[in-house]
Amino acid sequence: MKRQKYIDQINNQFDVHRACGLLGPRQCGKTTLAKEFVRLHEIPKNNYFDLENPIDLERLQNPVLTFEALQGYIVIDEIQRRPDLFPVLRYIIDNSNLKFLILGSASRELIKQSSETLAGRIGYIEIKPFDALETMEIQHLWFRGGFPLSYLAQTDAASFEWRMQYIQTFLERDIFNLGFSIPAAQLRRFWMMLTHYHGQIFNASEIGQALGVSHHTVQHYLSILEGTFMIRVLRPWFENLKKRQVKSPKIYFRDSGLYHALMGIRSPEDIQVNPRIGASWEGFALEEIITYFDVRPEDCYFWSTHSVAEIDLLLFKDGKRIGIDFKYGDVPSRPKTMNRIIEDLRLDEVKLVYPGDKRYFVSDKVEALGLKTLLD
């Protein structure tokens, strides 16, 4: 599947910066994109470094001399394996005409030194697994998730098996390669516990008691899964109101396919009889809406009071406040508290997102939006 929007974003970043970082979970398609960029720009094979390849690692024993012998674009894949290269990249960028495309399977917060040493020299692009706008399909994408090898598998059984192997490799290899010495069994248990908090308020103390660790350790585990793009931590928004507002975050699995695998859901039929079907669909729809509106993580929140009032997703986009409520059902109805929520949060518009394919206004500022209309 050609992902032209990302190729365009890479070219746009190189119009501004000397380095471009592609960040996203392992196996989401970063390497495929990089190779397409290499093909389009006719970059020599010798300019491509895969840091999981022992030969390329050997070539970078003396990176300054290696890079200075090259011209044009240089691609470095799996940069998180060599965070010590960032100071070298800064030196090379400041003293040559080389441009760098770097790929990493973790956030820049987890890839140490990158934000400090390349500040002002690099632009980042988050590469996501397939989304509905790319696949033009929802049900299949919801069940299998967007990782290319899961989504494109020949059978549901093969897709499920790929996802289970992905989870095992992530726990046993990827976490270690990022420099964390957490037992795989412990992190798996924590990840499994998070399936019960998907779409819910996160309670670190409760999980810590169950695991026999402190709530600080639980927060550390969560930050790792957030930094490797496995979990979305949705922060609460606070408004200056005389109401008791929720101050703890919500968590969501970013890929519905991995969520289903950890839940033991092997087929689309299994989802329909699972009591967590509503939470599963809400998490899937939330990711699709964030992608659709192209909103940065720091502009995404939820809002809730200790009474009934809440907004599942609050987006800040182009100077507007957009409220999103997710309803798993045939036709959503306007919540009784919506007028007060619109007034309290000064919302410009509200969208009630549901699994259908209709789009209509419930009132002046409230629109019911079938998720399928994203494909129109």
Residues 88 and 206 in one domain: no
Instruction: Please identify, among 63, 98, 126, the residue that sits at the C-terminal boundary of a domain.
Output: 126
Residues 318 and 290 in one domain: yes
Contact 89, 118 (CB under 8 A): yes
DSSP 3-state of 77:
strand
Between CA 183 and CA 17 the distance in angstroms is: 39
pLDDT at position 336 over 80: no
pLDDT digits (tens, 9 = 90+) for 150-166: 999 999 999 999 999 99
| pLDDT band at residue 331 under the 50/70/90 scheme | confident
Instruction: Please identify, among 97, 126, 155, the residue that sits at the C-terminal boundary of a domain.
Output: 126
Contact 129, 146 (CB under 8 A): yes
Residues 216 and 120 in one domain: no
| Cβ neighbours of residue 65 closer than 8 Å, sequence gap 6 or more | none
| pLDDT band at residue 373 under the 50/70/90 scheme | confident
| pLDDT band at residue 115 under the 50/70/90 scheme | low
**For residue 81, what are the domain limits?**
4-126
Between CA 79 and CA 102 the distance in angstroms is: 6
Q: For 37-41, 160-164, 237-241, 269-273, which range has the lowest pLDDT when averaged over its residues?
A: 237-241
User: Which pTM was predicted?
Assistant: 0.94
Q: What is the mean pLDDT of the chain?
A: 93
Residues 112 and 259 in one domain: no
pLDDT digits (tens, 9 = 90+) for 180-210: 889 999 999 999 999 999 999 999 999 999 9
Residues 220 and 338 in one domain: yes
